[in-house]
Amino acid sequence: MFVYKTSGVCSTEIHIDVEDNKIKNVEFVRGCPGNLFGISSLVKGMEIDSAIAKLKGIKCGNKDTSCPDQLAKALEELKNL
């Protein structure tokens, strides 16, 4: 399991399981439970690059980032390990 420490959002961490370049599971620590459970469900089974393309750059209100954007950053970091 890969653990990513978020920045600038309500969620504090993202836990990610990947197998064969596909997302097996995503869990957010803290944040908006319904929305984050929905995002986790939607990306399950998705290729890493596809999820990054869909989530990167999304903003939350007047913040420069969002939980989906933080997930994209986490996946980019994981991909480059």
Give the residue extent of every domain in the chain: 2-79
Instruction: Please give the structure tokens belonging to residue 81.
Output: 């390990």
pTM > 0.85: yes
Q: What is the pLDDT of residue 54?
A: 98
Average pLDDT over residues 19-26: 98
Q: What is the CATH number of domain 2-79?
A: 3.30.390
Which of these, 15, 53, 11, lies nearest to 35 by C-alpha position? 11
Average pLDDT over residues 2-31: 98
